[in-house]
C-alpha cells in the first residue's frame, strides 16, 4: 500500500486516483466506496454512518472515501454526478450504486447481500 495514495482515518481508507486501482479494483475484498466532497452537507451527514460501518465490518470489507474534487479521474470513470454516492465493488467489479443519504441498516443489508 503506497502511503502517498492512501490515508487511513480510523477504519475508513481515504483513496486518491492513483490508489483506487490497487486498493479497490485489484482487491479480492468487498469494497464500499463513498464518493463525497467537503462542501456537500449530505456527505457530512453520511460520514458517521460510513465510519460506523468501517468499524463494524473491520477487515471483512474495505470501506473507503474518495473526494470527488481532488480525484476527477476516478469520479469521471464511474460517472459520479450526485453525491454522496456509494459504490460497492466485488472482485474488482462494480456491483451496486446508491446515491444520496441512506440509513445504516439499508447499506449494511446491501453489504451483507454481497458477502
**Contact in structure between 47 and 64 (CB atoms under 8 Å):** no
**Looking up cell 459504490, which residue turns up?**
87
Question: Among all residues, which ones are annotated catalytic?
Answer: 40, 43
d(CA 17, CA 107): 24
Q: Does the N-terminal peptide bond of residue 84 adopt cis geometry, omega within 30 degrees of 0?
A: yes
Amino acid at each position: 500500500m503506497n502511503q502517498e495514495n492512501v490515508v487511513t482515518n480510523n477504519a475508513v481508507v481515504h483513496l486518491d486516483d492513483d490508489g483506487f486501482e490497487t486498493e479497490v479494483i485489484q482487491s479480492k475484498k468487498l469494497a464500499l466506496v463513498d464518493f463525497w466532497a467537503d462542501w456537500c452537507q449530505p456527505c457530512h451527514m453520511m460520514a458517521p454512518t460510513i465510519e460506523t460501518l468501517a468499524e463494524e465490518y473491520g477487515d471483512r470489507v474495505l470501506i473507503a472515501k474518495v473526494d470527488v474534487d481532488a480525484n476527477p479521474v476516478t469520479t469521471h470513470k464511474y460517472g459520479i454526478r450526485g453525491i454522496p454516492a456509494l459504490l460497492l465493488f466485488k472482485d474488482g467489479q462494480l456491483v451496486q450504486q446508491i446515491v444520496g443519504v441512506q440509513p445504516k441498516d439499508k447499506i449494511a443489508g446491501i453489504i451483507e447481500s454481497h458477502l
